[in-house]
Every structure is written in C-alpha cells, then in structure tokens.
Amino acid sequence: MSFAVFVNLFGAGVLTLFVPSLTKSLQNLNGNGQSSLLGIFVGLNVLSLLLIFFFVPETAGATLGKGEGGLNSISLEELNYIFGVSTLDHIKYQLRHMVPWALDRLSWRIVHPFSQKSPDSDGPPEVLYTWVNVRNARREEERRQEGAVSTQLTNERQRQMSGDSEITDSS
C-alpha cells in the first residue's frame, strides 16, 4: 500500500512540474493549451479503461471471508481459480460475450429510454468464472474428509469391538 501511495504522489509531483510547461507548449502549438491537455488526459483514461477491461480478471462473485485482524480475504482456492484462467481466454471472453451483451443493452436503452422493463430478453451473458462450483467443490471436499474420518473411527471401533469379543470368547 505504501508503494502505491508513493507512486501516486510521485505522479502528482511530476504533473505539478510538467503541466505548466506542457500547457504553454500546447498553447503555442495549436492555440488551445488547456483543452489539448484535457484531451491528452481523456485519452489516457480511455486507454486505462481498455487495459482494465481486458486484463483485470473479475472478482465480483468471489466470497469474502474474515481473515486475521478482521480484514476481508478471498480463499486461496478461489484465487487459484481466478488466476488459473489465462489472460488470452479472459480477453476472448470479454470480446465475444461481454462487449456484444453491453452493446445490446445500450442499444435497447437508447431505443426505449423510459421503459421500466429489463433489456435482458436473452438473459445475462455466458459466465467465465463459476464461483458456485468453487465454493461447492470446497464444501464437498470438506464433507468427504469428514466422512472419511467418521468412517475410519467407525471401522476402528468395530475392530476394537470384534477384538474384545474374540478375547472374551477365548476365555
């Protein structure tokens, strides 16, 4: 976190040093220094939006548990699942499923701006991350382990009981 704050403040310091001279240069170049500078910042924001959309995996459905110190945490199994999907598969999913779905919703909203009905006639897009399966797999594994332990205890008790009965039969 401290490194992120350092980078943020360092960037703010660099902007403080270079924005006045950059504005003057743009003013001399085309006569609209501040407008051109705003255009540069808009372009950088659009670039960051595209990079985040295509390269940052979705974690909205992941379960948050309380870790040590009361911090929210995601289980290691779900982190493995999130980062187990390749970046190329994530980009393909975003292009093939999410972009068309978002454009359909947007076009429906433009055509029906005051409608109260939902534009999801086809339903939500196909999901890439199935959180329920990760959660259920973990629960199923815990149940199997509990079942194996209880089966072991039952078998051990039966062995002890049969061993005790053999001892009493022989005496």
**What's the confidence (pLDDT) of residue 120?**
64
Largest CA distance in the chain: 111
| 118-166 pLDDT, tens digit each | 766 667 777 777 665 555 666 777 788 777 777 777 777 777 777 654 4
Residue 156 or 169, more confident: 156
Does 141 map to a domain? no
Band of pLDDT at residue 171, cut at 50, 70 and 90: very low
Q: Which residue has the tokens 């703010």?
A: 12
Global confidence as pTM: 0.57
Does 27 map to a domain? yes
According to DSSP, residue 113 is labeled T
Could you give phi then psi for residue 79, rounded to 5 degrees? Answer: -65, -40
**What's the confidence (pLDDT) of residue 45?**
96
| 71-82 pLDDT, tens digit each | 566 777 777 777
Q: Which of 62, 120, 126 is nearest to 93 (CA)?
A: 126
How far apart, in whole angstroms, are the C-alpha atoms of residue 93 and residue 87?
Answer: 10
Could you give phi then psi for residue 85, rounded to 5 degrees? Answer: -80, 125
How far apart, in whole angstroms, are the C-alpha atoms of residue 110 and residue 95?
Answer: 22
Does 98 map to a domain? no
Point out the least confidently predicted range of 20-24, 44-48, 58-62. Answer: 58-62
Torsion sign across C-alpha atoms 22, 25, 27, 29: negative
Mean pLDDT across 31-58 = 90
- What percent of the chain shows pLDDT beyond 90? 22
Does 13 map to a domain? yes
Strands (E), the chain: 65-66, 72-73
Mean pLDDT across 10-26 = 92
Does 140 map to a domain? no
Q: What is the mean pLDDT of the chain?
A: 79
Range(s) of the domain holding residue 43: 1-56
Residue 82 or 94, more confident: 94
How far apart, in whole angstroms, are the C-alpha atoms of residue 151 and residue 143?
Answer: 12
Residue 60 or 165, more confident: 60
Does 18 map to a domain? yes
Does 118 map to a domain? no
Burial of residue 112 (CB within 10 Å: 0-12, 13-18, 19+) is exposed
Specify the number of domains making up the chain.
1
Does 132 map to a domain? no
